[in-house]
Amino acid sequence: MCYPICKPYIYNNHTHSKLVNSTHKIAIGTLITALLITTSCVSQNNIINESPTPSVNKTDVVIETQTATPTSEPSPTPTAKPPDVLFKYSSGIQMLEAGQYKEAIPQFDMVIRVLPKFAQAYNGRGLAHFYNDEIDLALEDFNTAIELKPDMADAYMNRVAISLMKEQIPEAVKDMEKALTIYEREGNIDKEEEVRKMLSISEKNINN
* Distance from the first to the final alpha carbon of the chain: 46
Using only the alpha carbons of the chain, give its radius of gyration: 17
Q: What span, in angstroms and rounded, lies between the C-alpha atoms of 197 and 208?
A: 17
Residue 203 has what pLDDT? 77
Is the domain spanning 13-207 CATH 1.10.3720.10? The answer is no
pLDDT by residue for the chain (208 residues), tens digit each? 332 232 333 333 333 333 333 333 444 554 554 566 665 444 333 333 443 323 323 333 333 334 444 444 455 555 444 558 999 999 999 999 999 999 999 999 999 999 999 999 999 999 999 999 999 999 999 999 999 999 999 999 999 999 999 999 999 999 999 999 999 999 999 999 999 999 988 877 776 6
**What phi-psi label fits residue 129: left (phi over 0), alpha (psi between -120 and 50 degrees) or beta?**
alpha
Report field, pTM of the whole predicted structure over 0.75: no
Q: Which of 141, 127, 122, 80 is nearest to 99 (CA)?
A: 127
Q: Is the dihedral of CA 117, 85, 125, 186 positive or negative?
A: positive
**What single string gives the DSSP state of each residue in 94-110?**
HHHHTT-HHHHHHHHHH
Residue 82 has what pLDDT? 58
Residue 76 has what pLDDT? 54
Please state the domain extents for the chain.
13-207
Residue 37 has what pLDDT? 66
Residue 202 has what pLDDT? 83
Residue 63 has what pLDDT? 36
Residue 109 has what pLDDT? 97
